[in-house]
Amino acid sequence: MRRPRRRTALLIAPTLTALLVGLDPGTAHAADPTTMTSGFYADPDSSAQQWVNSHPGDGRTAAIRSSIANVPAARWFGNWSGPIGTATGAYVGAAASGGKLPILVAYNIPNRDICAGQSGGGAGSAADYDTWIAAFASGIGNRPALVVLEPDALGHESCMTPAQVSERNAMLRNAVAQFNAKAPNTWVYLDAGNPAWLSAPTMARLLADAGVAGAHGFSLNVSNFYPTGQNTAYGNDISAALKSSYGYTKPYVVDTSRNGNGSDGTWCNPPGRRIGTPTTRAGGGPEMLLWVKSPGESDGNCGTGSGSTAGQFLPEVAYKLIYGY
């Protein structure tokens, strides 16, 4: 994903933005959305649930229903979601009506997936993105939620020009500020890639430049396969680097949706992977283990998803993820 241009007024943003919204850079929201709800929200309209509903007689249906469709997981929002404030408002409202905590992914930054290209797209400009993310946050409002902010956005900075990096960081800092101002009961996790991508000190610097000071924390392993233990070591190292270089630490969450068998070193629909620990509030190390990627949704036209598009639900891939083959 590409970075938006950096506005001069935002050059001091990690600290200033946090202060403008009444937050100390090293602290999170006072409100804890996990204590305002009675568990995580399972999306009744997820791709897995839609497939289950449409294939009641398929031999794979029972396993996919119980092991994937019924597990709370994130819903991703992007330029396919229609009016974004309406979309996030409806989703969070449905979760709130049952007292459950929804997980949302904001995935619309300009030049999204700039390095890999399988999930390319995003908002047409930095201004468009700023408008979009403000509406995203407004749709949530005061209701409790978790938001994973722009998977891979920081890791992809290696494929961008310095001007693009500056622009992207400005957009991410503004996004954090929008959530703090408009969605005070939302915990925002700025995505930090995975343990095999960048060193912990490098990722800590990228997070700081992108405004993690004002966010609740950061996310790891989104749509990837690295085991929880490896992510825990990496997350602890990032937090330690933030402390030593910037004076604050941050909690983190790990995407465990497909890390049950660990990684074979590839990220795009590798065979032999397995679903991991279902969404839960963790203790020690990660703050939460979340299903951010929905198992069975393709990473793109590659590997076991050959011929598919990113996000397309593949029942045979889902079934194999349940059993690890």
Give the active site residues. Answer: 113, 152, 299
Going by DSSP bridges, is the β-strand pair 288-290/280-281 parallel, antiparallel, or unpaired? antiparallel
In degrees and rounded to multiples of 5, residue 145 shows phi and psi of -165, 160
In sequence order, what E strands does the chain have?
Answer: 75-77, 103-106, 145-149, 186-191, 217-220, 252-255, 280-281, 288-290
Contacts of 237 (CB under 8 A, 6+ apart): 200
Contact 287, 251 (CB under 8 A): yes
Q: Which residues lie closer than 8 Å to 165 by C-beta, 6 or more apart?
A: 3, 157
In terms of Cα–Cα distance, which of 7, 1, 210 is closest to 110?
1
173 and 192 in contact (C-beta within 8 Å)? Answer: no
For the chain, report the end-to-end CA distance as a whole number of angstroms: 31
Provide the sign of the torsion angle of the four alpha carbons 234, 236, 239, 243, taken in this order.
negative
